[in-house]
Structure formats: C-alpha cells, structure tokens
A and B are shown apart, each in its own frame.
Chain A
Amino acid sequence: MKQKLNRFGFTILEMIVVLSIIGLLLPAVFSLFFSSLRAQSKVLILQQVKSNGDNALNVIESVTRQSGVSLHSDNPPSITNKVCASNGTTYSAGNIYILDKNGDWFSFYLNNSAIASESGTIGVQDLTSDKVEITNFTLTCSRSSQTSPPLISISFTVSQTGSPGRQEQEATLNYQTKVKLRSY
C-alpha cells in the first residue's frame, strides 16, 4: 500500500492547496516588507527636512544675533533706509538688509523655494538643499523701547520637494523664533 501511494507522488488537489497557501503567504510577507521600506523612506525624508530647517534657523539666528548692527529695507544699507530704529516701529518683509560692525551687509531671503544668504562680501549662498522646499518665509522687526535693541522674528515652513508619495503624509515642519541684535 505504501509503495503504491509513494509512486503516485502528489495529487493535483494537494498541489493546489500547497500553492494557494504559498500564494497567500508571499504577498503578506512582501506587503510587510514594502511598508517597512516606505516607513524608512519617510524617516529619511523627515530627517532631511529637519536637518535643513535646523541648519537654516541656526545660521540666521546666530549670525543675526552676533553680527547685526542695524536693519535696513534696501540695498545698499544707508541711514535713510534704516528700519526699526525708532521706538515702537515695526517692519515686515521677505528681505531685510542687516549691517554688521565692519560696515558690510548681509541678508536672508527666499530664493526659488530655498533660503538664500546674501552678503556684500561673499555673494549668494543657499542655506537649504534642493531636497526641501521653504514656504512662508517672513522676517519682521520691531523695536519696543529706546533702551532695548531691535527684535527680529523669523518664521518659515520646511517641507520635502515634490508631491508626497501615495501612502506617505507630507513631511512639514514649522520654524519660528525671535532674536535681538546684541551688537546694536
């Protein structure tokens, strides 16, 4: 009896059962694998967005705080286009020219969805990579009293370039802070 069974091998029914089990298992394992890949790429995108935003804010904040002497609405900065110099004034723009103690100027502005840093001595340099897009970049300065230096509010939004993938939500982070010109 045993001999006879063995010689027949598997029946078609057995093969169908086995194949259907494998056919159910494989897609399950692969879908798990692909969702893990997707989650990892999401983390990578978020990291890029965050490191770009952190870097840009750090540079703007530290340079403005340490080197900024006065704020101007136009280039070249002069005494006539000085903003936020007198008590209670406010000025808001996408670009404020900041004069440093050596008489050179620098400014930060939105340049084709990247934050550009421009200075009279170095020229234009982008602070963020082309992997991310910057929106809502605003600079606002104000001066509340004659005894305190002008205050600049910086705010922008960083998100990844292009439209997000099918299942991924968009990676968007907001940045905002205020700095005082310590060398005023």
Chain B
Amino acid sequence: MSRNQGVTLLEVLVFVTILSMLFVGVAAATTSSLRRAQFNQRKIFATRFTEELEEWMRGEKEASWTAFAAKSAVSPGNIYCFNSVTLSWPAVGSCGSTYGLTNLYKREATLIGTGSQITVNIEVEWLDGANTFSVPVTTVFSQWE
C-alpha cells in the first residue's frame, strides 16, 4: 500500500527547495567569480597602461632633461591626460570625465616640482558600475647628468 503512494507533497517540496537553493548558490558563486575575473583583467590592463606611461616618461627624461623639466611646474604641478594609445605630450589639462583610453580607462599624469627633481604621479582609472577603481603610481625622476 505504502509503495503505491508515490511521493508526498512534503517530499517534493523538500527536494525542490534543496534543488533551487543549489541552483541559486551555484549561479551566485559563478557570477561573482565572473565579475572578479573581469576585474582582474581590467586591473592587468590598467597596471600595464600605468607602467607604460612610466616607462615612456623615463624615456622622455633620458632623452632630454630640460624638455622634460619644462613640462613640470611647482606644486600642485601640471596635469596631463594621456588617453591615446600612442604616447606624445598633450596640452596641460586633466581628462575630466572622458574615459578615452580603449574607451574604458582614463590615464592622467601630474608632474610636480622644478629643478633637478620631479615627482610624477600617474593614475589610471576605470569605472565598473557605480564603482571607480584606479591604479596609482608615484615616481621621482632626478637629473642624472
């Protein structure tokens, strides 16, 4: 008799609850891992863009200290916007709210100081939903020759 009864409502309910909890759990975990992976990817690119500008700045400094020092000013310094992939000196001015570097990032450099030592603050910023993330780097360049 009891073998013919099939599954009770309670059993079905328990099973469905467990199954849906499992699905929701897996979906939530996967979504957060996806977001993290995307964040990591963006951070790698942002770090690369920061270092790229730093290396380029060092090159500019090596090429000509006087030309490089002329780009700098006393505190709060000169701010430049390096939103293009090919690097060259832009006019003084911040990027504002333009995330023009590969349509995702904003790259700014501030050159502070005059004389034989110049502090360079480089920052790459990107938006993810309502959050703003950034990779900042500070370097001090000194006149070597």
| Chain A residues within 8 Å of B, Cβ to Cβ | 6-10, 25, 28-29, 32-33, 35-36, 39-40, 42-43, 46-47, 50, 54, 57, 144, 147-148, 151, 153, 173-180, 182
B140 to chain A, nearest CB (A): 17
* Interchain CB contact (< 8 A) of B37 among A9, A32, A43: A43
Taken together as a complex, chains A and B put the C-alpha atoms of A179 and B126 apart, in Å, by 30
Chain A min CB distance to B39 (Å): 9
Bound CA span A5–B143, Å: 91
A and B contact pairs by CB, cutoff 8 A, 17 listed: A6-B6, A28-B27, A29-B30, A32-B27, A39-B37, A43-B37, A46-B41, A46-B45, A50-B47, A57-B55, A147-B145, A148-B145, A175-B55, A176-B56, A177-B55, A177-B56, A179-B59
Residue in A43, A144, A153 whose beta carbon sits within 8 Å of that of B41 in the complex: A43
Query: A32–B30 Cα gap in the complex (Å)?
Result: 6
Residues in A whose Cβ lies below 8 Å from that of B7: 9-10
Q: A176-B56, A177-B58 are in contact. Are A39 and B34 (CB under 8 A)?
A: yes
Chain B 42-56 against A: per-residue CB contact (8 Å), 1 yes, 0 no? Answer: 001101100110011
Q: Within the complex, what minimum Cβ distance (angstroms) separates A24 from chain B?
A: 11
Contact in complex: A178, B30 (CB < 8 Å): no
Chain B residues within an 8 Å CB radius of A32: 27, 30-31, 34
- Secondary structure type dominating chain A contacts: helix
Cα–Cα distance between A148 and B85 once the two chains are bound (Å) = 30
* Chain B residues, Cβ within 8 Å of A50: 44, 47-48
A interface footprint on B14-34 (CB within 8 Å = 1, 0 otherwise): 000000000100110011011
Complex CA gap A161/B144 in Å reads: 39
Q: Is B6 within 8 A of A176, CB to CB?
A: no
CB atoms of B52 and A176 under 8 A apart: yes
